Amino acid sequence: MLAELAPEHSRTRLVAWIKAGEVRVDGEVVERPSQAVAAHAVVEFAPPPEEHRSGGTHAISILLDDPDFAVVDKPAGVICHPSEAVRGGTVSEQAEALFGPLPDPHGDEDDEPGARRPGIVHRLDARTTGVLLVAKTEAAAEHLVAQFAARTVSKTYVAIAFGAPRFLSDWIETPIGRDGRHGDRMAVVREGEGRSAETFYEVRERYDGCALLDVRPRTGRTHQIRVHLESIDLPLVGDPLYRGRLRHRGLPAGAPTIDRQALHAARLEFDHPRTGVRVVAEAPLPADMQNLVDWLRVHAPAGR
């Protein structure tokens, strides 16, 4: 019933209101989200003041600035777009402050109800760094979204993973769906379940207990690279969710710390939405990952 009265709010938010005692039926406080409501009952609710968390405190960097789009370098900890719970500092909000109002491409099945995505045609996890494409016009947004849907956009990531890759390069082609036991995780699922996903990886350098990889996902599923690499026992260094089934011993003593998954969107190739010319954008490896790579090369070479 409450979802029908307040469709602009997510079910999670409505349940929180009920548990906070903010919803009444015929004058009585509702105690359970599943409570039945009789016909003609009077439903009253007073939403508590909105509390938002910040979408990021670090500034995006502009890699390319075109009348139709911009390519930015997203720092770690910056969320792509605002939502019911997130306001301020997101890529969308920073981009609108720089370029003015941006088009709002329609969301997908992973969006929260009420979320806006000004300028955002694809996304990166909050703690993943690197190249992100922002549309400035409606026509550009439509064209760029279509390119991602048609898989004509080429994406290259750099990752630091625990473990010893069995091959110099390989394709991972297993479907991905929601983890039935952990709602905040995705997982490799059985054939016929979830959504198809394809990831190519190539070993750039090997170290003692970990490796530097180039990763090229052909599809764009939620947490795809993290899930696929974990599934072959190559979990990303610093990943808080996808730690792998094997107990990797961790980084060697003395190695620089990294407090996020070691994943960086290094290169993006797409067709210019107006001219059709192929555009290539690259973002340098961020300092936390570069410092770790430099240390591993010196102190933990492969075979030690």
Confidence (pTM)? 0.81
Which backbone phi and psi does 197 adopt, to 5 degrees?
-150, 140
**pLDDT beyond 90 at 21:** no
Please report the pLDDT score of residue 192 as a whole number.
87
**pLDDT beyond 70 at 22:** no
**Stretch among 29-38, 144-153, 288-297 having the lowest mean pLDDT:** 29-38
- Show me where the domains of the chain are located: 2-45, 50-150, 151-304
Neighbours of 223 (CB within 10 A): 20
User: Please, are residues 2 and 45 in contact by the beta-carbon 8 Å criterion?
Assistant: yes
- Annotated catalytic residue, options 73, 104, 110, 125: 125
Please report the pLDDT score of residue 62 as a whole number.
98
Homologous superfamily, domain 50-150 = Pseudouridine synthase (3.30.2350.10)
pLDDT in tens, 156-201: 999 999 999 999 999 999 999 998 887 778 999 998 889 999 999 9
The pLDDT mean for the chain works out to 87
Is 179 catalytic? The answer is: no
* Tokens 């992973």 sit on residue: 110
pLDDT in tens, 108-162: 444 454 567 899 999 999 999 999 999 999 999 999 999 999 999 999 999 999 9
Task: Tell me whether domains 2-45 and 50-150 share a fold.
Answer: no
103, 157, 40: which is closest to 273 by C-alpha? Answer: 103
Please report the pLDDT score of residue 111 as a whole number.
47
Taking domain 151-304, whether its CATH number is 3.30.2350.10 is answered by: yes
Task: Report domain 2-45's class.
Answer: alpha beta
